[in-house]
Structure 1
Amino acid sequence: MTTSDPATPGTDPDDAHRAADRPGTDRSKADRRPRRRVRLVAAVAAAAVVLAFLPFVWTVASTAGHRHTADTVPDRPVALVLGAGVRQDGQPTLLLARRLDTAADLYFDDRVSVILVTGDNSVEHYNETDTMADYLVAAGVPADRIVGDYAGFSTWESCVRAREVFGVEAATVVTQDFHLPRAVRLCRSAGIDAVGVADSSLRERTFATVYGWLREVPAAVAAAGTVLLRPDPTFLGDDETGVQDALADDTADTGGRQD
């Protein structure tokens, strides 16, 4: 009976373990698979982050030349103030109040002639548009220079309705700085020669500012889809002559001069 020689290669148990650890063996391949999966997941995650930020970068870059300060903004016939909520006591939220203050300043500085306030009045006991108009009147803006859009349920709908329903061809959009790139982009995509002025008075409120900018990242993704698909507003309806009538009155009041 022949016995195996302990010195014969491949018969030593230690040799077997060493062979299993050599590159090219099944065990080595198995050890590399988890690392490959981790790298793949990391690459996919990085690509997703980049893709998520691209629409945000697009809104910022494509409107860079159309966003101004209140001192440098070109004159436009209409200021478009986008709604931002009403408190339970019937007063505008802080964000909305600051937008209205900015629009009033533009009016008093003769940068705009008419203010179109656009908001939500879809349910009883909630009238964002009238709240905005009342605030402006209390600030000294003549009531006949304020026009209300009661079906501005979103930024896109406000822009489309301003162009299609109210006949606005050129406007200064007024909102917060984090919202302004998307608002200007959507209004320009809706056919309005839009520039924008931001209220920046809340920059010291860190939470509101950080939250606002973070919120714009997914909102910009939705905006890109909106520009591509161009959905109709919830309500379009008949033409409204309020803005044109107010502009005509302003021209008459200034002796035929129209800014």
Structure 2
Amino acid sequence: MRVSLVVVGVLGLITVGAGTWAWTVSAGHIEVAGESADGANAARAPVAIVLGAAVHADGLPSPWLAHRLDIAADLYTSGRTEAILVSGDNRRVGYDEPTVMRNYLISKGIPSQAIALDYAGFDTYDTCVRARRIFGIERALLVTQDFHEPRAVAICRSVGLSVDGVGDSRARHDRISWAVSWTRERPATIKAVIDVVSRRDPTLGHRETSVAEAINWTREHRR
């Protein structure tokens, strides 16, 4: 019994410590967008990074991913960003998050030339490290759900990427799913601390110029 209590206590301390790290590092760098980023007075940055999530077999994004992409589209059309990097999973045959994300953005009126794709954003840490080391991004807006923002922003800022988060709050309307996802953030934040401290190397590969090209294209066509 005593051993069990000690284990529970230690796990509790680790969880609280990891959560404190995420909230401390991300403090002052998170906006909640709600229905549109226009109402959030979001900071400006050359790039908006959209973190991947589930996509359906019919080629459509899941509702939560669609909400993220809607915010990114608003950020671009309102002039707050000049390019959009969609980062997601493409490890399985027939499953391609970045391509689905790009197609959705194009359907919302975003020029294809303004969109860059990261096919190896297997988790938040991978996306943040690759954005900095592969795509050469220094400053960005990070788009995901609001419950995910503290961890996501903390990871990116801890690996040298200056980001402000723009979080979607519409997930709160589905209380059960939101509660489950919020709960999952606790162990995920512990993993994030381990990744940051260990400096785990994600899948890297060659340097990409697609983000720089997207920014240049937008600057030329917004004149």
Provide TM-score, normalisation by structure 1.
0.80
What displacement does 1:43 show? 5.4
Query: Pairwise CA RMSD of aligned residues?
Result: 1.5
Paired residue for 1:7? none
Please tell me whether residue 98 in structure 1 is matched to residue 67 in structure 2. Answer: yes
Change (3 A) 1:251 1:125: same
| SS of equivalent to 2:11 | helix
Aligned pair count? 217
Q: Per-residue deviation at 1:86?
A: 0.9
Matched letter for residue 191 of structure 2: A
For residue 250 of structure 1, the aligned residue among 210, 218, 221 is 218
Give the equivalent residue in structure 1 for 2:81.
112
C-alpha displacement of 1:237? 1.1
Aligned partner of residue 173 in structure 2, secondary structure: coil
Structure 2 unaligned blocks of 5 or more: none
Answering whether residue 149 of structure 2 is matched by residue 180 of structure 1, we say yes
Residue 49 of structure 1 corresponds to: 12
Amino acid at match of 2:30: R
| Comparing 184-193 and 125-134, the one that deviates more | 184-193
Range 133-142 or range 89-98, more displaced: 89-98
Letter in 1 for 2:115: I
Following superposition, the deviation at residue 201 of structure 1 comes to 0.9
The structure 2 residue matched to 1:159, chosen from 105, 128, 132, is 128
How far residue 44 of structure 1 moved from its aligned partner, in angstroms, is 5.0
Identity of aligned residues (%): 42
> 2:176 maps to which residue?
207
Q: Counterpart of 1:141 in 2: which secondary structure?
A: coil
What CA distance in whole angstroms lies between the structure 2 residues aligned with 1:109 and 1:94? 22
Task: State yes or no: 1:68 paired with 2:46.
Answer: no
Query: Is 1:133 aligned to residue 102 of structure 2?
Result: yes
Amino acid at match of 1:50: L
SS for the counterpart of 2:81 is coil
1:156–1:43 Cα change, 3 Å: closer
After superposition, give the CA deviation of every residue in 1:174-215 in whole Å (9 maximum; x if it has no partner).
000111111111111221111100011121110111111100
Residue of structure 2 in register with 1:240 after alignment = 208
Could you list the runs of 5+ residues in structure 1 that have no partner in the other structure?
1-36
Report 1 or 2 for greater relative contact order, CA contacts < 8 Å, sequence distance ≥ 6.
2
Give 1:227's aligned residue. Answer: 196
How far apart are the structure 1 equivalents of 2:213 and 2:58?
32
- The corresponding residue for 1:84 is 53
Per-residue CA distance 1:27-56 (angstroms, 9 max, x = gap)? xxxxxxxxxx65x75455334312222101
Instruction: Confirm or deny: 8 A CA contact 2:86 2:118 kept in the other structure.
Output: yes
State the SS of the aligned residue for 2:28.
Answer: helix
1:159 partner amino acid: C
Q: Secondary structure at the match of 1:196?
A: strand
SS for the counterpart of 1:65 is coil
Q: Deviations over 1:8-42 (max 9, x none)?
A: xxxxxxxxxxxxxxxxxxxxxxxxxxxxx65x754
What's the offset of the Cα at 1:222?
0.4
Match of residue 121, structure 1, among 67, 83, 90: 90
Kept in 1: contact 2:82–2:219 (CA 8 A) = no
CA shift, 1:247, in A, is 1.1
- Which residue type is aligned with residue 155 of structure 1? T
Q: Does 1:194 align with 2:157?
A: no
